[in-house]
Amino acid sequence: MKRIIPILIIIIFTSCDPGVVNKYVIINRTQSDLKIESILEFGKRKINGKDSIKNVEIKPKMEKIITEYGEIGNAHDKGIYFLEGIDTIIVKSDNRNLKKNIFDRKNWEYKVTKTGVFSMDEVEYRLILTDTSFE
C-alpha cells in the first residue's frame, strides 16, 4: 500500500497535458496613436468569449497585449508558424500605411515570461513599431 500512493501521484502528474499561453505585444514608439484589430483562429477562441475580434488602441510610448490564447504544449519559439493562432492583424496609424512586415518572424522578439510545473508556461512575441515602420 505504501508503494501504490507514490506511484499514483507520479501517474497523475505525468498524465496532465502541459499548457502554454501565447501573448502578442505591440510596443508603440511612434508619435501617434495606433489602432490594432486582431482576430483569433476559430479553434483558439475562448469558449466563454462573446467575440474573437479584439480592438486595442496604443498611445505613443506605450505597449499593450493585442491578443493572447492558450494551447496544449510547452514554451517554445514556433519560428515561422508564430502567428498560427491568429487569423488577422490590422495596424492603423493616422492614414499612414504600415510598411514593416508584421508577418515576418524576424521583426518580433520572443521571450519566455513564465515556466512552471504547476502552472501554464507563458511566452511573448513583441513587435516594436516606430515612425519609420510607416509610410
* 57 strand-pairing partners: 35
Specify the pLDDT at position 74: 87
* 59 assigned to some structural domain: yes
Sign (positive/negative) of CA torsion 100, 101, 105, 108?
positive
* 49 assigned to some structural domain: yes
Coil, strand or helix: which one is 40?
strand
Specify the pLDDT at position 25: 97
Stated pTM of the model = 0.81
Give the whole-angstrom CA distance, residue 28 versus residue 30: 6
Question: Which residue positions in the chain have pLDDT lower than 70?
Answer: 1-3, 5-17, 43-51
* 36 assigned to some structural domain: yes
Count of domains observed in the chain? 1
Give the whole-angstrom CA distance, residue 105 versus residue 108: 6
Specify the pLDDT at position 132: 95
Specify the pLDDT at position 96: 92
Burial class (CB in 10 A: 0-12, 13-18, 19+), 78: middle
What are the pLDDT digits (tens) for 76-86?
999 999 998 89
**56 Cβ contact partners less than 8 Å away, ≥ 6 residues apart:** 26, 35, 36, 37, 38, 64, 65, 66
> Alpha helix (H) ranges present in the chain?
4-15
Instruction: Provide the residue range defining the domain that includes 52.
Output: 18-133
